[in-house]
Amino acid sequence: MTEPGQSIKTASDQDVVAAARTGDEAAYRELVRRYERPVFSLIYRMVRNRELAEDLSQETFIKVLNALDSYRPEFKFSSWVFKIANNAAIDHLRRRELDTLSLEGSPHADTPEKLEATALQIGEKAESALDAVANKELGGEIEQAIAKLRPEYRTCILLRHVEGRAYEEIAEILDLPLGTVKTYIHRARNELRIALAHLRESDQ
């Protein structure tokens, strides 16, 4: 628990969580303040849509704060938060994948024209202002290359090299064996090196 004189801003995650469990609103705010940027950045890079990333980040924090009683202090709090954030992003990507299948057109369409017509009925929309912001923010070559990685590689590489998490913590966050996490990160780096090779060639 935080001592009366001790600032909540300097307290450890475990102490802030303990204070939040007693209903201390300042502790709730402190947990959001500490993790809003890393959680939002991770989700934003996963879903590549600012508005959606805000919604999913909000959902993540609501889940975290409402389930503080079920948090087990023997695990790192950050791992728990990232696990919930990653699950939110992955669930969304899976749902979107299903939607994309339906965008290909009705399975009952028997001519290419009907297929095209039914496909256009769902989900087609122009780039919104927020999408435009996202495209600008995530428009760098490296961001584009990250976006092309498989979602599980993307999470691993972002947690390891952008958020600076240890392999063991990533394994805990993703519920994967340590060896699998290492393999994913190495494959992701390999794919990124290949994707960015043209930059090196243009430098030479």
Partner 1 sequence: MTQWPIQHLTADDLDAFHSASLSPTAHEHLDACAECRALVAQDSALVAALEKLPSFEPAAGFSERVMARVRPAPVLARVYHRQQFALAATLAIVLGASIVWSFFNRAELLSWLNHSAAAIGRTLWGAVRVLASNLTEQPWFASLRQFAASSGRVVLLGGGLLVGYGAAVFALRRLLAPPSRPVPHADW
Q: Compute the least distance from the CB of residue 204 to partner 1, in Å.
A: 12
Q: How far is the CB of 95 from partner 1 (least distance, A)?
A: 21
Q: Which residues bind partner 1 (CB under 8 A)?
A: 20-25, 28-29, 32-33, 36-38, 40-41, 44, 50, 53-54, 57-58, 61-62, 65-66, 137, 142-143, 157, 161-162, 164, 182-183, 186, 189, 192-193, 196, 200
In the bound state with partner 1, the residue whose beta carbon lies nearer, of 111 and 204, is: 204
Residue 28 or 77 with smaller CB distance to partner 1: 28
Q: Which is nearer to partner 1, 76 or 161 (CB)?
A: 161
Q: 164 — alpha (psi -120 to 50), left (phi > 0) or beta?
A: left
Least separation, in Å, of the C-beta of 111 and partner 1? 35
Q: By C-beta, is 23 or 112 nearer to partner 1?
A: 23
